[in-house]
Amino acid sequence: MLKTLGKSVREFKLPSILVLLLMVLEVILEVLIPTRTADLVNGVKANMPMEMLIHDGVVLVVMAMLSLLCGAGGGYFGSKASAGFARNVRHDVFEKVQSFSFSNIDKFSTASLVTRLTTDISNVQMAYMMLIRVAVRAPLMFVFSIVAAYRMAGSLATTFVIVIPFLAFVLIMIGRKAMPAFRAVFKKYDRLNESIEENVRGMRVVKSFSREEYEKQKFAASSDAIRRDFTYAERVVALNSPAMQLSMHFNMVFILTVGAKLVVTSGGTYIDIGQIQAMLSYGVQILMSLMMLSMIYVMLTMSAEAARRICEVLNEKSALTSPENAVEEVRDGSIDFTDVSFKYSESAKNFALSGIDLHIPSGATVGILGGTGTSKSTLVQLIPRLYDVSCGSVKVGGVDVREYDLHALRNAVAMVLQKNELFSGTIAENLRWGNENATDEEIIEAAKLAQADEFVSSFPDGYETKIEQGGTNVSGGQKQRLCIARALLKKPKILILDDSTSAVDTRTDALIRQGFKNYIPDTTKIIIAQRVASVEDADLILIMDNGQIVDRGTHAELMASSEIYREIYEQQTKGGDDNA
C-alpha cells in the first residue's frame, strides 16, 4: 500500500525531505533550550556577571528563533508536500478510472468512487502531513527529552517510568476502541453519497411521486448513522485529554515535591532550581510527544482504511488494454461477428448473447429491433470493445477488435445513447467533443443535420449557451439531437444510435436519417429503435430475442417471413402509434 501511494509523491520528494530535516533540527533545538534555560536560572541564583547572563540570554533567544523558523519552514514545506501529494493521488485515481472498462466500473459504485476521490484522499493527505512532520517530530522529541532528562537530573527522571506506561496503556486502549468506529464510517459515507446522487439525479421522479419525505428520511438515516459512529469515536478519543492532564499534573507534583527535597538535602549540589525548571519542561515535551503519537496512531489507523480503498482503485487492472504492436488505423466500417457469445461475468450462469453470426459491409445501414432486455445494446457495445466477447470474435475493418489500439478503435466509432450525457459548458464546447478542432461552420452544419440548429439559434446566446450539469436546461429531445450532432462531427467509420431518437417525432427522425445519408454516406450506421419507421429503409434489419438474432432481412423480406416483425409493424401502423 505504501509502495502504491508512494508513487504519487513524485515532484514533491524534495519538500518532503526538507520537512524531515527541519523537524530534526527543531527537535534538537527544543531539547537544548531547557538545558540553556536551567544554566541561565542557576546563573542568576549564583550572581553570575551580567555580561555572561546577557550572552546566555542572547544564545537562548537565537535558539528559540531558529526553532521557530524550523517549525515555520516545516509547516510551509509540509503543506506544500501534502497538498501536492493529494493532488497527484487524485489525478492518478481519476486517470485510472478513465482507463477502466465497463466490467471494472461495475465493481465500484459511483458513490464509492466519489468518496474515494474526496473524503478518502483528504484523510490520506492529513495522514501524509502527519507522517512527514509529527511522526518524525514526536518520537525524536520523546527519545531526546528522556535522554536529556536523565542526563540532567538522574533519579528524578524516574517519574517518567510511572507516567509513560500509564499514558501509553490509556492511549492504546483508546485507539483499540475508536478504530472500529472510524473504519465503519467509510462504508456509511458511500451510502450517504449514494443517497445524495440518486436523489439529485432522480429529482423529477421524486417530486412527481411526492416522495420528498421518504428521501429526507433515507438521507437522515444515513447521516445519523455516520453521526453515531463519529460521536462514539470522538467520545473515546476525547479521553486523551483528561489522561494527558492527569499525567502532566502527576509529573509536576512529583518533580516539584521530590526535586525540592533534593535541593534542600543536597544544598543545591546534586540538583538546583534550574534543573527542576528544565525537568518540568522535559516532562511537558515527553507527555506532549506521547499525545502526538496517540493522534498519529488514531489518524493513521483511520487513514489506513482510506488508503486501502484508494489502492483498490489504483491496483485494479483494466479488463481491456491495448495489445503490444496494436493496430493503429481502422481501415473501414465493416463489422463481422463470428460465433459470438457473451456474459457480463465469468460467474454468470446465463449468456447475455449467444450464437451471433453477422456480417455488415462498410457503409451499410443496419436496424435492430427487439423487446426490452433482448441484449440489443449489449451487442453494439462489443463493437468499440466496451466489453470483450466471452466466445468467438468481433472484427472491425477485417481486424479483431482485440488487436486494435483502444483509442484508435474507439475514435473510429461514435455512439449516441438514449440517455446520452451533456457536460457543463457551452453548446459549442459540448459539440466539439466530437472534433475539438471543428470550426464554427462545421458545428452549425452538424447541428442542422441533427435538426438542432433551429432550437439552438432560438437561445439568446446561441451556440455559446451554457449547458447546466447533466443538460438539465434542455429537453430530452434537444439533448438527443445535440448528442447526434456531436457524433456527426466525429465523422466516424461506424455510427451507433442506441434508441437515440426516441424523444423526437417521426418527421424529425426521418430528417435526421436523411442527413446521415448525405453527410456520412460511407459510414456504417447501426440504429437500435423501437419504431419500425426508424429502420424501415435500412439495408438490413435484425430482430433480436433472448440474446439471439431470430430474424434478419430487409423490410420487404421480413414482412414476408417474420411473424415478430410483421406483428410489430402492424401494431405501430394500424394502431396509429408511431411512438410505440
Helix (H, G, I), strand (E, B) or coil at 329: coil
β strands within 419-539, DSSP E: 425-426, 466-467, 494-498, 524-528
- DSSP state letters, 280-297: HHHHHHHHHHHHHHHHHH
Is the CB of residue 529 less than 8 Å from the CB of residue 333? no
Q: What averages of pLDDT result for each successive group of 10 residues across the chain (580 residues)? A: 88 93 92 82 75 83 92 93 94 89 76 84 90 87 83 70 78 75 71 74 75 82 81 78 76 75 69 75 80 75 83 86 89 94 84 93 93 89 91 94 92 84 88 90 91 91 86 83 90 90 82 86 91 90 92 93 89 59
Looking at residue 154, what is its pLDDT?
Answer: 64
d(CA 262, CA 271): 7
Start-end of H helices in 46-133: 50-99, 102-105, 110-115, 121-132
Looking at residue 579, what is its pLDDT?
Answer: 43
Report CA 360 to chain centroid distance, whole Å.
Answer: 40
The C-alpha cell at 217 is 428520511
Question: From its phi and psi, is residue 536 left (phi > 0), alpha (psi between -120 and 50) or beta?
Answer: alpha
The DSSP element (H or E) to which 135 belongs, if any, is: helix 134-153
- State the DSSP code for 404: B
pLDDT per position as a tens digit, 195-236: 777 777 677 777 777 788 888 887 888 888 888 877 887 787
The C-alpha cell at 382 is 462489443
d(CA 241, CA 231): 16
Helix (H, G, I), strand (E, B) or coil at 337: strand
pLDDT per position as a tens digit, 74-112: 999 999 999 999 999 999 999 988 888 777 777 777 777
State the pairing for strand pair 524-528/540-545. Answer: unpaired
State the pairing for strand pair 494-498/524-528. Answer: parallel
CA distances from 530 to 225, 384, 487, 502 (A): 45, 23, 21, 8
Is the CB of residue 383 less than 8 Å from the CB of residue 368? no
Looking at residue 294, what is its pLDDT?
Answer: 72
Inter-residue long-range contacts of 44-53, CB under 8 Å, 24+ positions, other chains counted: 45/272, 45/273, 45/274
Looking at residue 269, what is its pLDDT?
Answer: 63
Is the CB of residue 497 less than 8 Å from the CB of residue 416? yes
Total-model pTM: 0.70
Report CA 232 to chain centroid distance, whole Å.
Answer: 27
Is the CB of residue 236 less than 8 Å from the CB of residue 177? yes
- C-alpha angle 153-158-163 in degrees, rounded to nearest 5: 125
